[in-house]
Amino acid sequence: MEMLFTVISAILTPSNLLIILGGTILGIVFGAVPGLSATTGIALMLPVSFSMSSTTGILFLGSIYIGGISGGLISAILIGVPGTPASVATCFDGYPMAKGGRSSRALGIGILSSFIGTFISVLISMIFCPMLAHYAVKMGPWEFFSLCFCAIILVVTMSKGNMFNGLIAGLLGIIVSCIGIAPIDGAKRFTFGVVNLYSGVNQIGLILGVFAVATLIKNFAKGDTKTPDIDTKGISGFGISLREYCSHWLLIIKSFFIGLWIGFLPGLGAGLANLVAYAQAKASSKTPDKFGTGCDEGIIASETSNNAAIGGAVIPMVALGIPGDTATAMLIGGLMIHGIDAGPLLMTNHPELVYCFFGVMLFAAVLVLILQFFGMRTFPYILRTPVCYLYAAILAICVVGAYADSRTMFNCGLMLVMGVVAMLMAVGNLPTSPFILGYILGPMLESNLRKGLTYSKNGFATFLTRPVSLILLLIAVGSLAWPFIRDRRDAKRKASGMESEVDKMSSVFDVEED
């Protein structure tokens, strides 16, 4: 009860309310503009959050996260281009429905589904996080090493494309995380006498370089910067009655649990959840031929699942300190900036912060519902913002943000170098999610490995003799075999003309990561 009061008073403080409102609107904007995403929004606002108290900072970043995932539906429905990878499947039925003059209905269904997905999944994560954290505090460095290792391997093997590319990206992230003072003994590594590197590669510089500068420049180089034409004339009200919406309850529940589970698995998240839920909805529908022509079920499946993935991704982040996706990796970065280590002790040491985070996600979900309902005619105008102005302003924010973190121009240079690194990674088809995960989890991986070896007499064998550690390592090793099985299965399916729905859909857009 006391905690509830703390959370409510933190959220309802006038200044925090303004910050949450601003964060949610900003998140919707970042989610709506094609090429940007919740991840870009959080990356860009990390430097702004460090001037705030840790509670206000997490309220701000949490509201951007929620707004960002929901915002993607606006462009997906109105211009047929997903604002974020989380909304790819929303295009399939949302856009045809809008083109058929039913924009209100498409947006209304999307907004309601987003709300249900976010709100209930956050409530579920509130129940599961303390249970998981309670168990996790009993884990030693052996289990934590195996957990981090397992998370990185899962991110690599469960994502699309060549497994070696994911592994390389993760290993590059780990090598970058080695720069600076080593854990345990404090030896200086790869600093080349540069004082600015003693504390490691600056997180803000790296995140802004990889997720903002490189993303914008890649979009511009591909020519994805044209301003679309949008018709907002027919938009008013939800366009669907609550009774009609609730008649799809079974689909809502199925899509919700698909999203929650996929979000929980490290590295997957909303980008895949919406495609799987859509494919499932189509496969189990009595009228599958209606899918793709503007049917309610397609939008419901996609938007419920991608938002349910939020709650799923938050569980390992809060309870174990393991990010479920790129956006939660950024949120962990945000906590680190405030000197707070995400992990099982977070719930013990900073319960007020954790519950404020849950609280703001619930509050932001309601706020998104209200804002998107009343702003149905206004938000589409975001898409009319000339991209050249928007990108120029964002790049200026990146430069100032990178400077603000360390108050040195070195960090701005580092950001640019990281932008070049991200561009080189794109040349070699390397995904960025494993890279950031390797960078965030690298120090945890090393310190737990070294602690584990120091604390035990049996050396590396202890990692195999402790049951939980062994299970996690077996999962990791076992999942390394998965891409080979998947490739062989896909090749067979393609040869027999039975390509899976998810494969067909993800080949329409380049859906690999957020």
Task: Tell me which of 17, 21, 132, 171 binds another protein, using CB under 8 A.
Answer: 171
Task: Tell me which of 8, 101, 134, 164 binds another protein, using CB under 8 A.
Answer: 164
Is 14 one of the binding residues for another protein (CB under 8 A)? no
Contact 224, 34 (CB under 8 A): yes
Using the structure block, give the residue that is written with the tokens 């981090």.
148
Rg, C-alpha atoms of the chain: 22
Q: Could you give the C-alpha distances from 145 to 185, 227, 334, 453, in angstroms and in order?
A: 18, 47, 22, 11
Q: Least Å distance between CB 446 and another protein?
A: 5
Task: Tell me which of 285, 450, 464, 509 binds another protein, using CB under 8 A.
Answer: 450
Q: Could you give the C-alpha distances from 77 to 93, 100, 108, 287, 447, in angstroms and in order?
A: 8, 11, 11, 22, 46
Is 457 one of the binding residues for another protein (CB under 8 A)? yes
Q: Could you give the C-alpha distances from 75 to 88, 157, 352, 370, in angstroms and in order?
A: 10, 30, 36, 18
Task: Tell me which of 119, 403, 435, 439 binds another protein, using CB under 8 A.
Answer: 403
Is 449 one of the binding residues for another protein (CB under 8 A)? yes
Stretch that binds another protein, among 32-40, 194-202, 237-245, 446-454 (CB under 8 A): 446-454
Is 33 one of the binding residues for another protein (CB under 8 A)? no
User: Rounded to an integer, what distance in angstroms lies between the CA atom of residue 152 and that of residue 167?
Assistant: 8
Helices (H) then strands (E): counts for the chain:
23, 2
Is 459 one of the binding residues for another protein (CB under 8 A)? yes
| Closest-CA residue to 436 (of 349, 307, 332, 283) | 332
Q: Least Å distance between CB 154 and another protein?
A: 16
Q: What are 471's two structure tokens?
A: 């299970």
Task: Tell me which of 3, 131, 137, 388 binds another protein, using CB under 8 A.
Answer: 388
Stretch that binds another protein, among 65-73, 159-167, 342-350, 473-481 (CB under 8 A): 159-167
Report the site for another protein in 409-428 (rule: CB under 8 A): 409, 412-413, 416, 419-420, 423, 426-428
Which phi and psi angles does 188 have, rounded to 5°? -85, 130
Write the burial class of residue 222 (CB in 10 Å: 0-12 exposed, 13-18 middle, 19+ buried). Answer: exposed
Is 162 one of the binding residues for another protein (CB under 8 A)? yes
Under the rule (CB under 8 A), what is the footprint of another protein? 47-48, 51, 162-165, 167-168, 171-172, 174-175, 178, 182, 184-187, 189-190, 213, 217-218, 220-223, 225-227, 386-389, 391-393, 395-397, 399-400, 403-404, 407, 409, 412-413, 416, 419-420, 423, 426-429, 445-446, 449-450, 453-454, 456-457, 459
